[in-house]
Amino acid sequence: MTLQRFQARVLVSLRPSVLDPAGEATRSAAKRLGVEGITKLRIGKAVELELEAADEAEARKQLELLSDRLLANPVIEDWSLELHPQSTTSA
């Protein structure tokens, strides 16, 4: 079975109901920098991955498990997933 290579990015963000004091502090720093008009600033994490899987569906399944059980804590965080096949020339 040949494996395909994929690139993925998982974005983890705090759920809207969860206070983000670091985001608030950064928003006040933005003001001090002179950048006005920012009404919302929330800090999350971006996790970049490369993986091998039989097909895109399998890759997505693995990444969903990873995101839900390890990368994000569903009690306080939401996550979203971007998944692209990696071009074979760059492999």
Partner 1 sequence: MSIGVVVFPGSNCDRDVRWSAQGCLGMPTRFLWHESRDLHGLDAVVLPGGFSYGDYLRCGAIARFAPVLESLVDFVASGGRVLGICNGFQVLTELGLLPGALTRNRSLHFICEDSALTVASNRTPWLQGRSLGEALTLPIAHGEGRYQCSDDTLRQLQDDDAIALRYLNNPNGSVADIAGITNKFGNVLGLMPHPERACDPLIGGTDGRGLLQALLG
**DSSP secondary-structure letter at 18?**
S
Asked if 17 is part of the footprint of partner 1 (rule: CB under 8 A), the reply reads yes
Decide whether 45 or 84 has the Cβ nearer to partner 1: 45
Q: How far apart are CA 32 and CA 17, in angstroms?
A: 26
Q: Are 43 and 26 in contact (CB under 8 A)?
A: yes
Binder to partner 1 among 1, 2, 16, 19 (CB under 8 A)?
A: 19
Q: At which residue do the structure tokens 């971007």 appear?
A: 82
Asked if 25 is part of the footprint of partner 1 (rule: CB under 8 A), the reply reads yes
Contacting residues toward partner 1, per CB under 8 A: 17-19, 21-22, 25, 70-71, 73, 75-76
